[in-house]
Amino acid sequence: MLTLVFLILKVIIIHGINSSDKRLLMNDPDVLHQLELKIQNLQNIVSQIQQNEHNKTYIGFHAELSNVLQNLPHDTIIVFDKVVTNDGGAYDSISGDFTVPEDGLYSFAWTTLTNPGHIFHTQLTVDGRVISKSHNNAASTHDGKTATKNVVVHLKKGNRVRIQTFQSYGHILVAGWSSFCGFKV
C-alpha cells in the first residue's frame, strides 16, 4: 500500500511540474537521478517496515479463575487456570507464572472479587520481588467487592511474573470474576 503511495508521489513529482520546469528537470540527469534515488530509498524503508510488521510476534495473555479459592496462606500463588488468550505461550496455567519471553516493557492487570464479609489481598511479584499490591476488603459490605490493579514494568527474558496472596488475607476469591492479564508494550 505504501509502495503504491510512493509510486504515485514519483509520478506527481515528475509529471506535476510545469512544462518549463519539467524540461529543466528532464535535462538535468543529476537532479533526476537524485530524485529517483530518494524515491528508491523511501520504497526500501517502506518495504522494511512492512517486513518487520509481518514478522512481529505478539506477546499477551488473559486468564481467569475457574474455582473458588479460600483460606489461603501468605505468599500462595494464585493460579488463573482458565486461559482465554495466550499469544506467545508465556503464561502457564498450571504454575500461574508468566515467563518473560523477551526483554521489554510489559503491562499487567489483575482483578479480584471477594464475597461480603471477607478480605483478599494480592501482590504482583517478579522473581519473588514485590512490584505492587492490591487490597480487596469487603469485610464491612453486604455485596461482593472487586479490586483491580495495573502495573507497567521493564522485564528481562526469563523473569517470572505471578500474583500471590500477602499478609494471610486470602479469605475467599470468587471464580469467574477474577482474572490476570498482561502483554508486551
Task: Give the tens place of pLDDT for each residue, 87-127.
Answer: 999 999 999 999 999 999 999 999 999 888 888 899 999 99
User: Which one, of 153, 78, 140, lies nearest residue 112 by Cα?
Assistant: 78
pLDDT score of 2 more than 60: no
**DSSP designation for 76:** P
User: Domain spans of the chain?
Assistant: 2-55, 60-184
Q: What is the pLDDT of residues 57-72, one digit of tens each?
A: 899 999 999 998 888 8
Q: What is the CATH number of domain 60-184?
A: 2.60.120.40
Q: Global pTM?
A: 0.72
**DSSP designation for 82:** E
Residue 140: φ, ψ to 5°? -110, 25
